[in-house]
A and B are shown apart, each in its own frame.
Chain A
């Protein structure tokens, strides 16, 4: 509102039309982004600053790294790091191998409607993110009701509790995450494959390259940027693991711990121990990882070049 009053109050500059148009644009630009800037500060910058403040203080007094040391000494912290780490490795390997493979295969389907339908079927589970996908997988993983009970029993599982034992959990969580998210990435990779000029692939064929050789030496190298994007995004997202172990913990009678992942632990600090400082310390560490990856990708990955 102040901008408008300001505009009305300031007399038109006689310096020439061009200049005043630029000024008007500058004012309007600033006015248009003001509300967004406010939200960016309130829900992007400020929470991060507040988390920094909480992480380094206790009851308002500066305590250095005490909160972090306390968290490191917590017997639940390192197991949680390990759980999230193993999950990330399993999930990212699964994601890279199968997403690339499936994108290549779907792309090689010559019949258009079949290729579209296949991609769409892979993609649908993306509608079930969050609690609903875990809910569905509770059924799928419970041999007493599962549609694939015969598979579970073939592996020797006869109850949900036996499926979600801690040493198997990274695989279980990876499968759930893959089921929900892989389709989206397959669509993205398919788009990347479509951008490869037909002549390049024709030339490879003329030179006698088979589909495997073409994929390995031409298509995959040209998809590299997208694969990197997927890995970085998924890594950042994966460190945040929360809903899946939380719902599984609720359903498995405590076999999956309430402190399985780092975010769950941060949650427990805030809600069970009323220790906001410890909670902020864990959140801050996770935030630094995510922010580091994001900054790296924005400035090194070329996202900022055209801006």
Chain B
């Protein structure tokens, strides 16, 4: 290796390492923060471990905050996201299958609309959806989150791509020859082959909805809020950020950090288990076979 090449390699390693730190350091800090008191957060080394007693104390103060409000929020999130997940799968999988493997009137129009709506950021429709839902008086009803969460054109597109590339029409035709009707073909032949795409659609739908802040923030105020909205709500009870807050029960910085961990835990767990699938899903947007 010439000195030039050596320098180049060293520089590459340095850049990669700096970015590893950039992406990981905040997370490590977050994991350690709840083990410390606010005083320790200010004075101790940022990456020191406090104690399990403090962790327990922070946990207690968080879960007793307004009689366990945090569990209400997490329960809301779970309810909205799981309900939306079920509905999403029920409507997207057959739709993607039909668009890929059957001919019906309006198929191309439906496909084009799906592609267009899929690429529009979901936040762009939040206020219009709010205006619509408030016109039909659904604001504050769990349906105001569940129904919009269940509209997932990206899932239909993923299913469509999957069935058009991974499942051959011949296989379905063979089943038809054997006397299966269209519905049986779908249930007996297509569905068992669809497990990977069901997992993929489920993953993107669940994580996206769990992390969604804007829509439930406007459609489900107060105690009906999911955890993401609740987390921001907690912030206004942290004296360090809002010194004028006169509320009797307050949240410490460390408890807020703990709440953040609780809020992301489900998604993080799903992430760790599903990372292998993700690349496939994210590249499905534009690859051409």
Query: CB distance B124 to A149 under 8 Å?
Result: no
Chain A minimum-CB-distance residue to B275: A120
Query: CB distance B127 to A270 under 8 Å?
Result: yes
A298 at the interface (CB under 8 A from B): yes
A162-B28 Cα distance, complex, nearest whole Å: 25
Chain B residues within 8 Å of A106, by CB: 16
Contact A286 to B41, CB < 8 A, known contacts A32-B95, A131-B213, A303-B115:
no
Query: CB distance A122 to B151 under 8 Å?
Result: no
B66 at the interface (CB under 8 A from A): no
A140 at the interface (CB under 8 A from B): yes
Chain B minimum-CB-distance residue to A211: B8
Chain A residues within 8 Å of B104, by CB: 25-27, 29-30, 33
A306-B108 Cα distance, complex, nearest whole Å: 11
| Number of residues from B at the complex interface, CB < 8 A | 104
A86 at the interface (CB under 8 A from B): no
Most buried by B among A124, A132, A226: A132
Query: CB distance A36 to B92 under 8 Å?
Result: yes
Q: Tell me the interface secondary structure of chain B in the complex.
A: helix
A146-B264 Cα distance, complex, nearest whole Å: 20
Query: Interface with B: A63-71, A75-83, A184-192, which one?
Result: A184-192
A51 at the interface (CB under 8 A from B): yes
Chain B residues within 8 Å of A287, by CB: 120, 124-125, 128
A22-B104 Cα distance, complex, nearest whole Å: 9
Query: CB distance A43 to B148 under 8 Å?
Result: yes
Contact A123 to B275, CB < 8 A, known contacts A40-B117, A132-B228, A179-B23:
yes
Distance of A174 from chain B, by nearest CB (Å): 13
Query: CB distance A127 to B267 under 8 Å?
Result: yes
A187-B123 Cα distance, complex, nearest whole Å: 24
Interchain CB contact (< 8 A) of A147 among B47, B124, B153: B47
A233-B283 Cα distance, complex, nearest whole Å: 13
Query: CB distance A39 to B151 under 8 Å?
Result: yes
| Number of residues from A at the complex interface, CB < 8 A | 113
A154 at the interface (CB under 8 A from B): no
Query: CB distance A28 to B128 under 8 Å?
Result: no
Query: CB distance A236 to B213 under 8 Å?
Result: no
A251-B260 Cα distance, complex, nearest whole Å: 15
Interchain CB contact (< 8 A) of A131 among B23, B208, B229: B229
Q: Mark B90-115, 1 if CB is under 8 A from A, else 0.
A: 11101101110011111110111111
Chain B residues within 8 Å of A233, by CB: 119
Contact A51 to B271, CB < 8 A, known contacts A28-B182, A130-B228:
no
Chain A minimum-CB-distance residue to B107: A29
Chain A residues within 8 Å of B130, by CB: 270
Query: CB distance B125 to A44 under 8 Å?
Result: yes
Interchain CB contact (< 8 A) of B119 among A28, A149, A298: A298
Chain A residues within 8 Å of B20, by CB: 118, 121-122
A217 at the interface (CB under 8 A from B): no
Chain A residues within 8 Å of B112, by CB: 298, 304, 307
The 6 listed contacts between A and B (C-beta, < 8 Å) are: A25-B104, A39-B91, A127-B267, A140-B29, A145-B253, A306-B289
